Structure 1
Amino acid sequence: MPSDSTTPELQPITEIAAKLGLTEADLVPYGRTKAKVRLNVLEKHPPKGKLILVSAITPTAAGEGKTTTTIGLGQGLAKLGQRVCLALREPSLGPCLGMKGGATGGGQSQVHPADEINLHFTGDFHAVTAANNLLSALLDNRIYHEGMSRIDPRRIQWRRVMDMNDRALRNIVLGLGGVLQGVPREGGFDITAASEIMAILCLAGNFGDLKKRLARILVAFTHNDEPVTADSLNATGAMTALLKDALMPNLVQSTEGVPAFIHGGPFANIAHGCNSVIATKMAMGLADWAVTEAGFGFDLGAEKFFDIKCVSAGLDTAAVVLVATCRALKMHGGAQKGELTSPDPERLAKGLVNLDRHVENIKRFREPPIVCLNRFDTDTDAEIQIVREHCENKLKVPFAVSDHFAKGGDGAVELARTVMEHAEKVPDPFHPLYDWAEDIPTKIWKVANGMYGAEKIEYSKKAERDLKSLEKWGYDNLPVCIAKTQSSLSDDPKLYGRPLGFTVTVREILLSAGAGFVIPVTGEIMRMPGLPKNPQAEHIDVVDGHIEGIK
């Protein structure tokens, strides 16, 4: 692939808004090229457009260009004269400054202004951080003033967050320094994207819903085993105030001037991996085609997109685009990291089993799959032909090659035409994997067996205790948001391809009562990532007033 292009000449955000039928009165400007959109727009423009979900096969560590493909598809649809709007997640500072780099697409398919979107943007992540840590402060303040008489400091569920990869803060002792400095206890930090408040922000339908969800956050237990909620700490009002502006979605533009909402940023391996319900519905209300994404492979973000986001918000898709790359297929066929860009039709063909599983998974929701090969300049015609024939002859699914990184919308026209041809003409409701009313072990089994291909589920002693507690407290009717590695269909990141006969081990089950789901944790999942040996932050600088080094 060629290197990323320079930032294009951006249109004023008022002109981008006008493409969607929005006026200046609908906007809260954040400079010339970005703005928040007022929530009353949803009342004037209810969802009506077709929703297209972009997901991917099990990715390599570098990712397979899912966001870039989403943007490219939007630009391709615009090239064909369609009214389209994108709905994407916001980048987290942690990965941007760590190993992954920026998350605004690439090449000729990006969202802009990229440096501002990657660094601070409109302050949504900071608002989530502040609301989360206000709740932590109010909790510790209550413990301090009430002493040990009521809240059990050994059973505090709520952790502080920051939008940075910092492994040293995963587990800490706080409250040291004497009688006036608080009550000593163990605690720790998660990354902001893993905060329950981020999930709440993305699932809330309006201010009233936001407030209800914040109120029911479970933060601790008393010595009498009674739950302590955010509402019982009188935290709900102030938290809502801190999130007032953050609840409004952010409007920006793609390289070719396609309108794009960027709002919310939960990770898919530790949360539900989708942008906000409000932004998605707004995109559907303002355009004929709304193109969104779900994080990592289909088995993670897309499963949660359907079973959590769509069920709770009443959304449905017209088609699912599954992004595949030759390099990922070769990895699943046994190629090593240094071999992924070398021609290897044999290993590529062997790795097609991973693609097969994800196509089957899409069909489990009774949604039409479309396979998109995100083309890299190291791909050979022979390799591409192998994937095309496999999709068209064996899987019997639509297939398109897309070169949107190098050519923008022009490179995605084939994909856009394929989507328009194969998207549902008449809405046909998707079929969730499970009913929320089923018990938690049944829901976990249906995801682990149906999506991952697991043959058995094992529970640790702690997970078994967690199950009994959730049933006791009446939370067993919530959906499951399984925390799992993104590197494999299994819970073992080293099992590539299509693993068979494996067991998924549930270590513990966390509760996000405000967001409205339980989190079965499998494998070694870190809710606070660490920085790599050579973090991207070491290569970022400001030269002549311009930020450089965000990839």
Structure 2
Amino acid sequence: FDITVASQIMAVLCLASDLKDLKRRLAKMVVAYNFDRQPVTVGDMGVEGALTLLLKEAVKPNLVQTIEHTPALIHGGPFANIAHGCNSVIATEAASKLADFVVTEAGFGADLGAEKFLNIKARNEGIEPAAVVIVATIRALKMHGGMKKTELVNEDIQALKDGFANLKKHVETISSFGLPYIVAINRFITDTELETNTLLELSNSAGIPAALTEVWEKGGAGGIALAEKLLDVIQKSQNTFAHLYDLSDSLEVKIQTIARRVYGADGVEFSPKAKKQLIEFESHGWGMLPVCMAKTQYSLSDDPQKLGRPSGFTITVRELKPSVGAGFIVALTGEVMTMPGLPKLPAALNMDVDEDGNAVGLF
């Protein structure tokens, strides 16, 4: 089974440019194979119209009011570890008509959401980003520096310095696309002044533009410094955006390129099943599609235990899945699951309604 947010229908919904394109993509979805191992699609079954009917309202972006009473478009939710991790094309296009700059999230790190946004979504719609904001937290960097998760509230400058290598790799990945960037240091109340200043100094010494953001604590006012510095970066930096691979490259070359240039792997090992699928998919004419890597979000490698900036590793591709309607091929790596469970303490356990009917536990 696949979790809903990683399903091909979610990807189709988020990559369709309009209702007509949605129907076209739904029709191309492969649902089975016949006895001759030829793909059977939704269009072959003649039910793309019925599916489009079910989704005709869902395809419309949601206009939402933030807690500061400003408008935001929230639409679509594919996970970035096992799906392409970007909001809908329709919402992005709508936002671009309403503002001078559109800020959109790509899930997890530069190895997942950003790579997929730039190689899949941006390519799909001809989007040329003005810049990339790489969000970093001191807690995450300390964990990548070897600190236990239960101890992250404690000050540890050495762990922060050791974990900085992970952030540098994400910066290098964005640089490889030729895009201007800035690191947003997402400050939390548990971060000490020394830790914050150390991270700013590390960034400055490495020539990495960075700015403190305190939106978590102060709301929009806490992001003004970041926004101002980002605009400065956009105006003064050269933008030479280019995709990491050509669609004419083979599926194997695309996977190898992502593994080596984005993850820092020495190479890729394909399982016997994946090797067979590479040949099969190319024969079906799917070799021209981009690749969507399904990989753990906890590590640059496909092993969630390898933190920091690992080296000397290979990526294992165990299986390929055709998401022809969405317009990409999914490569399952390591032990990644497409039906993950909830965390040990899901947020829902803290949510409730008090005696006066007020919502509690949402923040």
Same fold (TM over 0.5): yes
Helix, strand or coil at the partner of 1:499: coil
Question: Could you tell me how far 1:538 is from its partner in structure 2?
Answer: 3.8
CA contact (8 A) 2:351 2:359 kept: yes
Comparing both chains, which one has the higher relative contact order based on Cα–Cα distances under 8 Å and sequence gaps of 6 or more? 1
In the alignment, does 2:247 pair up with 1:247?
no
What's the C-alpha RMSD, in Å, of the aligned pairs?
Answer: 1.5
Structure 2: distance between partners of 1:215 and 1:282: 25
Give the counterpart of 1:384 among 196, 201, 212: 196
Letter in 1 for 2:96: M
Structure 2 residue aligned with 1:338: 150
Structure 1: distance between partners of 2:95 and 2:236: 19
Alignment of 1:59-78 (within 5 A): none
Give the unaligned 5+ runs of structure 2: none
Helix, strand or coil at the partner of 1:430: coil
Structure 1 residue aligned with 2:103: 291
Give the counterpart of 1:355 among 146, 162, 167: 167
Structure 2: distance between partners of 1:424 and 1:367: 12
CA contact (8 A) 2:180 2:238 kept: no
In the alignment, does 2:266 pair up with 1:455?
yes
Question: Could you tell me how far 1:285 is from its partner in structure 2?
Answer: 1.2
Question: Could you tell me how far 1:548 is from its partner in structure 2?
Answer: 3.2
Question: Could you tell me how far 1:226 is from its partner in structure 2?
Answer: 2.3
Question: Could you tell me how far 1:393 is from its partner in structure 2?
Answer: 2.1
Alignment of 1:514-525 (within 5 A): 514-525=325-336
CA contact (8 A) 1:318 1:424 kept: no
Structure 1: distance between partners of 2:236 and 2:51: 42
Structure 2: distance between partners of 1:429 and 1:369: 12
**In structure 2, do the counterparts of structure 1 residues 329 and 427 end up closer, same or farther at CA, with 3 Å as the change threshold?**
closer
Question: Could you tell me how far 1:436 is from its partner in structure 2?
Answer: 1.0
Question: Could you tell me how far 1:530 is from its partner in structure 2?
Answer: 2.0
Structure 2: distance between partners of 1:330 and 1:533: 22
In the alignment, does 2:334 pair up with 1:497?
no
Which deviates the most, 330-339 or 303-312? 330-339
**In structure 2, do the counterparts of structure 1 residues 264 and 524 end up closer, same or farther at CA, with 3 Å as the change threshold?**
same
Helix, strand or coil at the partner of 2:37: coil
Structure 1: distance between partners of 2:348 and 2:150: 24
CA contact (8 A) 1:478 1:516 kept: yes
In the alignment, does 2:298 pair up with 1:487?
yes
Structure 1 residue aligned with 2:81: 269
Helix, strand or coil at the partner of 1:463: helix
Give the counterpart of 2:20 among 184, 208, 211: 208
Structure 2 residue aligned with 1:228: 40
Structure 2: distance between partners of 1:350 and 1:525: 26
Question: Could you tell me how far 1:525 is from its partner in structure 2?
Answer: 1.5
Helix, strand or coil at the partner of 1:210: helix
Structure 1 residue aligned with 2:340: 529
Structure 2: distance between partners of 1:223 and 1:549: 53
Select the structure of larger CA radius of gyration: 1
Structure 2: distance between partners of 1:313 and 1:426: 24
Structure 1: distance between partners of 2:98 and 2:228: 21
Output the TM-score relative to the length of structure 2.
0.96
CA contact (8 A) 2:180 2:237 kept: no
Structure 2: distance between partners of 1:486 and 1:403: 24
Aligned-residue sequence identity (percent) comes to 52
Question: Could you tell me how far 1:549 is from its partner in structure 2?
Answer: 3.4
Structure 2: distance between partners of 1:344 and 1:401: 19
Helix, strand or coil at the partner of 2:49: helix
**In structure 2, do the counterparts of structure 1 residues 450 and 248 end up closer, same or farther at CA, with 3 Å as the change threshold?**
same
Matched positions, count: 362
CA contact (8 A) 2:350 2:361 kept: yes
Q: Deviations over 1:312-364 (max 9, x none)?
A: 10111111111111111111111011121101111101111001101111100
Structure 2: distance between partners of 1:534 and 1:379: 23
CA contact (8 A) 1:540 1:550 kept: yes
Q: Deviations over 1:410-435 (max 9, x none)?
A: 21111111011111479945111100
Alignment of 1:420-435 (within 5 A): 420-424=231-235, 428-435=239-246
Helix, strand or coil at the partner of 1:290: coil
CA contact (8 A) 1:316 1:429 kept: no
Output the TM-score relative to the length of structure 1.
0.64
Give the counterpart of 2:30 among 212, 218, 225: 218
